[in-house]
A and B are shown apart, each in its own frame.
Chain A
Amino acid sequence: MSGSDCLGGWRDVGLIDDIPKLGARVVATARGNVAVFRTADDEIFALDDRCPHKGGPLSQGIVHGTYVTCPLHNWVINLPTGEAVAPDQGCTRKVPVQIRDRRVFLNPAFTTILPAGSVGWARKRRGAAR
């Protein structure tokens, strides 16, 4: 895995099969780690590897459906949106990702606009722990 294949900001980071199903791998970038997730149906999602709660490494969490549970305090993050599942509130930055011929391409430099209400890191958690 070179990471050097450059295509308009898109970086080839490896094969889908390098990521375990219902798992994640980390891609180290200049602006921090990106977590690349693979679901049971081979969907691929990429998020900053930081939970909006306390910055926990989401790449180390358990993946289920299209969600990942943060290993530090069990916040559940929606992979397609990067948003925490209620009653928790917060959002992790999405990183654009696409698949070509089972290869995974990331565009880590691309800045997405954060959805409203997600400014800053953790929001106060409401309700009891899941």
Chain B
Amino acid sequence: MNIHVPPKERLVVIGNGMAGMRAVEELLKRTPDRYEITVFGAEPHVNYDRILLSSVLAGEKEIDEIVINSRSWYEENGIRLFTGDPIISISGAAHTVTSKNGRVEPYDRLLVATGSRPIVPPIPGLNLQGVCTFRDIADIEQMIDASTRHAKAIVIGGGLLGLEAANGLLRRGMNVAVVHLMDTLMERQLDHQAGKLLQRELDERGINFFMNGQTEEIFGATQVEGVRLADGREVPGNLVVMAIGIRPNTDLARAADLEINRGIVVHDDMRSSDPDIFAVGECAEHRGMTYGLVAPLYEMAKVCADHLAGDAHKSSYTGSVLATKLKVTGVDLFSAGNFSGGEDCGEMTYHDTTGQVYKKLVMREGRVEGVVLYGDVTDSGWYLELLRNKEDVAAFKDAILFGQAIVAAMGKIKPVGVEDLPDNYQICGCNGVSKGTIVQTILDKGLSTLAEVRAHSKASASCGSCTGLVEGLLAATLGDAFCKAKEPGMCRCTEHTHDEVRRQIIEQELKTIPRVMSALSWSTPDGCHSCRPALNFYLLCAWPGEYVDDAQSRFINERAHANIQKDGTFSVIPRMWGGTTSAKELRAIADVVDKHTIPTVKITGGQRIDMLGVRKDQLPAVWRELNEAGLVSGHAYGKALRTVKTCVGSEWCRFGTQDSTAMGIALEKMTWGSWHPHKVKLAVSGCPRNCAEATIKDFGVVAIESGWELHVGGNGGIKVRATDLLCKVATEAEVLEYCAAFLQLYREEARYLERTAPWIERVGLDYVKGRIVRDAAGRKLLQDRFLYSQQFFQQDPWEERARGETQPAEFRALATVDS
């Protein structure tokens, strides 16, 4: 029997980017077999999430992590993919396209998704080495490469794209200048006030702004050396990133005689002037609008897929409400709709200058017309919903600026847990995924992790800013099953997380390790080597002066106050305040080394002297002799304050601006003896040359003419992390105050064995700034708690043990037998 199979229709897609491939994905969902699909892409890659290029540049993601569809996906769906082979002409009459490599491909339907091109103004110097745009993977690679070879970068353009580029280069350790034509940043998305707040924040992070700057020339011999502005200013730099804006890429369509205005003109069904040719994405112009954000592209992709699938009656595209977020970690910013107001419009603003929060709603006839949020974007989803639905908000207008939770608490609207949201509430703006779709996907596919939900529903898979909501939906849908999957317990002895255990210690006033274990139902009689040291720290941190330290729950180094070596001997490192020493101390060390025939003496990375190969039974005598010269324990063995490294500073150095050594000694005198979740290292540099390497320390201080810069969260270990700038202060007293507060916050809130670097990455720099910089009263309280705790811990553990008063048995053999 012969079954007649009609030949498949041929769909050719020009452009392997986000819009084109999303349209193909949507089409496959509707009708997987109708078309034989061929895709041409100009870039040599599979399709990837262009939005996340800024995260790759900032070092937060790898290239592999932003791939949307791998080659196997194309194969599995029977899609022929030609990468690195752009189409160079379309023949509407012949229904064919021709590629650069000479391939002629016939089509029944053609989808043009050629995206956009960076705008590059015709200025001299564009051909110099080190000039690039910020559009694709090749650009990012060039920028990352430049960041390893050059120190200074210039970004031309202070819009969304430019600022993300600037932030990324800053995170890569470059000194970054931004040249912007206007006097406000992101003027297309932000009003003047929010723009200024953003500029101040980025300025504090270290970006230099050249506002009202028209770039006239890029200069240099072969490599870029800088740019010259029309008003005569010169900005030095060896990398220039052009990020002025984008322009729809319409060359092909224009040559094929399609109707072009700014973009390829499309109707509500996404058809161009040729009914067999569709266009979606940044290259398309719909009702006079072109779009450069992802959400409208995805909306277009859906409509286009409906029409390609023959569900023509179903849908039409009517334009999008634009909403923007800036992907700069720690900067919370949102804008949507008409935020600049106009006739018949009113404005409501809330501006908390202490907390750096700014909110503005543009209102018209009792409805929200536009939104700008800075510093607190919790309610962005709600405002956007009110805006999109043109809801009448007159009933709660007075409180609307305080956010959804307050309005709900006043009984003006229904309460708003994530479970209370309506099913059609759009959770993921980028991908247009509603709450109902997410919940249904979780249930249908039996999903239990965020990664799975992203894979199956796309929710939170693009810019990621709705991740919290999606997790909330997972939790609400799965109940306890999700909580367990999400955070493992402290160790095998308990299901409670570190944070939960700490909370219970305070709430239930648990003050011994056995009490914690019984109150929280530990599964082992006395814990393990992992949880006991953690509990010991949590208890001494929570109850200073009350908790009796449990030596048997300390790792040997902290129990013996020396560092165990591979052969079972120990190393002894006395404290050297701020890295300073004296002839008397050095003589005492030399005598101890001679007397006890200590095999190795070494200078440590933290500016101290290490005596290695001391037997445990020798420790008390060694300590006694060091004590006699005034030397005390350096805590080089502990999850504790280790060293305060310093440079010589203004006392001797011809460049020094402040007395960094004295500052370092003062810091060490304040902080020595403090126990922490992990080791803590400080440094003080006397000028921005930073010889003490303060920017890879947990708390680094760098002197500047007007005072001190305070840096936090650096690490020079396995994973090098440069510090984040916390703030600048004027006086030594402030340095001490901020340092004490910062260390206490870390002590109270980080998890055991979590260094400051991962802790800050976890909680966010902005949170730390909120607690330490913006909350002056809270900072004082933290400082008070730190200093209160210190009165119990600033006793030299060596002295107590050298006198034989503490742990006398620890350093002696139980017995010696002769057989």
A interface residue numbers (CB < 8 A to B)? 1-3, 9, 11, 13-14, 18-23, 25-30, 33, 36, 40, 54-57, 60-65, 67, 69, 71-72, 74, 76, 106, 108-109, 130
Contacts and interface: CB of A to CB of B under 8 A. Distances in A.
Contact of B528 (A2, A11, A64, A71): A64
12 contacts: A1-B814, A13-B817, A14-B814, A20-B552, A28-B815, A57-B564, A61-B556, A62-B533, A64-B524, A64-B528, A71-B557, A106-B817
Interface in B510-564: 524-530, 532-533, 551-553, 555-557, 560, 564
Contacts of B568: 55-57, 60
A28 B816 contact: yes
Given A13-B814, A109-B819, A69 B564 contact: no
B123 interface: no
B559 to A, nearest CB: 8
Tell me what chain B mostly uses at the interface: helix, strand, loop, or mixed: loop
Nearest to A25: B814
Contacts of A106: 817
Contact of A29 (B529, B532, B819): B819
Given A18-B809, A28-B813, A109-B819, A62 B529 contact: yes
Contacts of A64: 524, 526-529, 532
B484 to A, nearest CB: 21
Interface in B554-597: 555-557, 560, 564, 566, 568
B566 A54 contact: yes
A59 to B, nearest CB: 9
A71 B819 contact: no
Q: List 7 tightest A-B contacts by C-beta distance, closest first.
A: A25-B814, A69-B529, A13-B815, A3-B815, A60-B556, A62-B529, A57-B568
Contacts of A27: 813-817
B567 to A, nearest CB: 8
A20 B553 CA distance: 12
A20 B809 contact: yes
Contact of A60 (B526, B560, B809, B814): B560
B76 interface: no
Contact of A71 (B525, B555, B809, B817): B555
B819 A60 contact: no
Interface in B777-819: 809, 813-819
Contacts, number: 100
A104 B287 CA distance: 92
* Of listed A21, A22, A23, residue having the most chain B CB within 10 A: A22
Contacts of B530: 130
Contacts of A54: 566
Contacts of B809: 18, 20, 25
B553 A14 contact: no
Interface string B30-48: 0000000000000000000
Contacts of B551: 20, 23
* Of listed B527, B557, B818, residue having the most chain A CB within 10 A: B818
A61 B557 CA distance: 10
Nearest to A1: B815
Contact of A65 (B524, B553, B557, B816): B524
Contact of B818 (A30, A71, A76): A30
A60 B568 CA distance: 9
Nearest to A33: B813
A11 B813 contact: no
A9 B817 CA distance: 11
A21 B557 CA distance: 18
A130 to B, nearest CB: 8
A62 B553 contact: yes
B814 A18 contact: yes
A71 to B, nearest CB: 4
B813 A69 contact: no
A29 to B, nearest CB: 5
B813 A26 contact: yes
Nearest to A73: B566
Contacts of A130: 530
Contacts of B557: 71
A63 to B, nearest CB: 7
A57 B564 CA distance: 10
Given A20-B551, A65-B525, A69-B529, A28 B817 contact: yes
Interface in B307-355: none
Contacts of B524: 64-65
Contacts of A108: 817, 819
Nearest to A130: B530
